[in-house]
Structure 1
């Protein structure tokens, strides 16, 4: 009685997503975090302000990354958890199975986050960064190379 899965299936695991999200925030994203900014740079391969800029842009573009309540009223995953999983996969070449232990996310959620993140980044930044270079861009790069 009250069983969520079929009797022949294994039970649902309590993977403490909320606790892991809180620990991630405490480690890297709050003012007096456990690790200094140099650790953040080494772990995420970018500065903290750049991570926040990308996270805000992606959350504004796709509501999938915004934390919401589920049907039972429990809070969902934090945007930092989803984007951390995606960035770890992209920067380290990690698989979804390797990342799920760090972020406490299911494999399907990690892969969905990866696909949505890549789509959002392409939509947001294509006009600025994925365009053909102009003569003005070439001149700017040559001047920068001379310096």
Structure 2
């Protein structure tokens, strides 16, 4: 008796084992598949990233009381002031569990929020690929890419009503005033 599901035909007949060799064929196929998958995994190189050292390096370079690099260097590297980066990190950490410290399945501590946001902001500021910061932040390309997607979604959701809206006439007037003040333009 045949049944059709879309373009697939299912045959509804009782299956009888012709002999015990049929099981051997299936067992051999399963063993072969296991052998192939284990050799595939053995070819992959596992890199143990030292997240803690990278976190300390980042903190000592930019975010401690007396950082190694000054504010001008920070703005040149991240294209925004340090207080703004810290505000973004604080806002995302308070709203999204992805940006909070946690432990993975191997009980390894995850990257801290400042590391994840730093990776993303540097990618956006310099238009560099995600694997560019592997050595400095000890973050794999996949993790860095994942951070980028989640960060962008979180930024849109967090700041949508405040900054990602159409400007009002009041906003436009404030922009004109700021432009005139910065460029010393005066009405005649």
**Aligned equivalent of 1:116:** 150
Task: Give, in angstroms, the shift of residue 86 of structure 1.
Answer: 0.4
Give the structure 1 partner of residue 104 of structure 2. Answer: 70
* Dislocated runs of 4+, deviation >4 Å: none
Partner of 2:124: 90
User: What is the TM-score with the length of structure 2 in the denominator?
Assistant: 0.69
> SS in structure 1 opposite 2:43?
coil
The unaligned stretches of length 5 or more in structure 1 are none
Q: Secondary structure at the match of 2:68?
A: coil
Contact 2:62 2:68 in 1 (8 A): yes
Structure 1 residue 89, shift from structure 2 partner: 0.7
Deviation at 1:65, TM superposition (A): 1.2
More strand by share: 2
In the alignment, structure 2 segments of 5+ residues that lack a partner are 1-36, 182-188
Number of residue pairs matched by the alignment? 143
Deviation at 1:134, TM superposition (A): 1.9
Matches within 5 A, 1:1-147: 6-7=38-39, 8-147=42-181
* Greater relative contact order (Cα < 8 A, sep 6+): 1
TM-score by length of 1: 0.86
Structure label with greater radius of gyration? 2
Deviation at 1:119, TM superposition (A): 0.5
Cα distance in structure 2, aligned partners of 1:143 and 1:113: 37
Question: Aligned in 2, Cα 1:38/1:9: closer, same or farther, shift over 3 Å?
Answer: same
